[in-house]
Structure 1
Amino acid sequence: MRIRDPRAWTYSLPAALLLLAPFNILASLGMDIYLPVVPAMPAILRTTPDVVQLTLTVYMIALGVGQVLFGPLSDRIGRRPVLIAGAVIFAAASLGLAITTSAPLFVALRLVQAIGASAALVALFATIRDVYADRPESAVIYSLMNAMLAFVPALGPIAGALIARAFGWQALFVALALPAIAMLFVALPKWHETRPVEAMAQKRAFGPVLASPAFWTYTLAFGAAMGTFFVFFSTAPRILMDGAGLSELGFSLAFATAALVMIATARFAERLVERWGIAGCTVRGMALLLSGAALLVLGQHLLGASFWSLMPPMWLMAVGIVLTASVSANGALQAFAHAAGTAVALHFCVQSLITGIAGTAAVVLLDGTTVWPLAGYAALMAAATLLMLARLTRRSLRD
């Protein structure tokens, strides 16, 4: 396979991880480290909670939609320039966020920050695919990358609470910018181009993917699962800090319990997928979302805003999120091995749009200081997914 840059990627696995991992972690931290200060941001920016919600929504949507844009761009101009540009954009936007208190500018900079994160992520995983696709280290690389992303929601808010308490909310964004700048100095001499020349000639056919019922069914399932988590972290700060009176650190520790449940479930996911299959795991995942939604409603009536009315139902839904996320990509993409890159990009793009738009609508239209947005989103999306899955099953039986 011909490579545009003749130098081989000869780094040892530990050295490669030190080069790759920070970009992976920073993109996720851009969302999670900010959560402890979300309840305080309306007063800081002199705006409404709905506008502050946009600072979460635009990051989520841009992170996913950007994959459709930057994937083809990295095939055309290379992985290295997309990664470097993404890191520069992310760092510059993070520094801008640290020094502005203008709500419109803050929202705009969050969008720019997410664009930078998306570009860096696309280049990162394209590089991993270029270098490790035919190597035995690929399984180790991917499992470690996924493990890092699983731990960020558990540790990111705790780090954010400690940083904000010690240095103020502005320090959160400085803490994102400085590592990005440091990694630029590391990547510039060491991250050489890995794009195959053949990648320039690949055509992207979106039509067949978007016409697939299986693609839409399992992408909706992924949107139901990840959107539930999105609505949870959009509302949990207000429920647990404003409603239940937890401190920023207390909230972060409570939030981490949901992430830890997801990490623990992920350890058994492969075994469960082998036992139940793609459709079976999806059905059980949606059933857990529905059960958690019912418990949220019950807890709201009996306990009001409290740790116990929110977190135990969320633990149940966290298991459902992992079950669904473990199989949704395979279910959506199994018919598109010939166009895997395009199908993956569309899968994550559509999922991010579902999550961002429908999740934000739930938070804004329902009372974001209660469990109603979370219960409503999880129940509605899980029910819709089960209906689509039933139709898909009937179609496959006819065929």
Structure 2
Amino acid sequence: MTKEVGGSALQCGMESIQLPEIHWLEGGHEHRAGWRSEAGVAPHGEIGIVDDRSSADDTYRQLESGTALLWRGDWVNARHLMQALTKRADRRFGAQRGKAPKTPAEAFARHRETQGKRAALLNRLLVPLAGDYSVPLRRAQDVGEACRAAYGEASGEPSLVALRELLAVISAHEWRKKGIPVPAVQGRIYPHYGVFSPVRGEYVDLVATAPIPAGCALAFDIGTGSGIIAGVLARRGVPQIVATDQDARALACATENIERLGLSAQVRIVKADLFPDGKASLVVCNPPWLPARPTSPVEYAVYDPESRMLRGFLHGLAAHLADNGEGWLIISDIAELLGLRSREQLLAWIAEAGLKVIDRFDTRPKHPKANDAGDPLHAARSAEVTSLWRLGKT
């Protein structure tokens, strides 16, 4: 059952959301708390209690049966248990069962289904959070700063959260504190939780080396995310850049990164669904590369349902290009290799939008999965090419 928790709201970036309520029986009494799930999982209807006396095998069997389990033991032991459960889930879901997929698209669908089941199982191990984001468990680490960075200021209401999600929040905060060195911006990018991290440098290199249109005084960065592309364009000498996004976390992340790089005089961050007002000599977009449904916030940088953002960018580009301006579409051909979208379809969308291809620059990915023969999608990943398409008005 779900309802609002005491009318309190959780601040997330610039948006305010209500936590649903979760109920469970413990020690013969009914308990309730707010329910946190970045993936939008509904509050669990059946919750058992586990602690340090519970074995990994028994815990795994209960999770596999569909029961959510609230951890009441030692925090360090909970982390060790999650490692043990993850190994068991990897063995369970890593093995290929049944007939081999007939097509790359079938392999992708099966991979997504399997990964979804694996995540659902592991996310059933829950831990409590107090109203001030402290963890009421023995030897618990201080997660307050990480939670405030991801969820906003504490509401004062206790809550339950999947341990796996909380560990991801903690890990993301460590990346945010350290930052990722990016030579093209002559500094570091500090990714926020739920915002895609620029760990795949090949697309950044394309933006850093493609020829900027002569006399370019204004550029648009559509779907800026961490602000990395806007930062690269600013470092390359574009006088003014307007960077857009509609996600509150992305807007906060991009703003912080641009300020840290000392580029606020050149880059303006604007909340918009795709384009800002006006026209520019250069309009850049790095949309999600796969037409599939995201299951968590960070996946919105990877999955684009029905190619909505890609088609929206192409459809609106001509109207936002100055005379002799260029649009840069940065996209991988992984969707084509997986049979999710054809090259012919992409070219047809370009033509239908009143655009022409001026040139294209290609690069090969450098991420580890490209060389992982055990990856179910290895055939596509090993052949993948990332491209920067230079587009102009017909």
Instruction: Give the structure with the higher percent helix.
Output: 1
Bin of the TM-score, shorter chain as denominator length = under 0.3
| TM-score of the two chains, using structure 1 as the length reference | 0.24
| TM-score of the two chains, using structure 2 as the length reference | 0.24
Instruction: Give the structure with the higher percent strand.
Output: 2
Query: With CA pairs under 8 Å and 6+ residues apart, which has the higher RCO, 1 or 2?
Result: 1
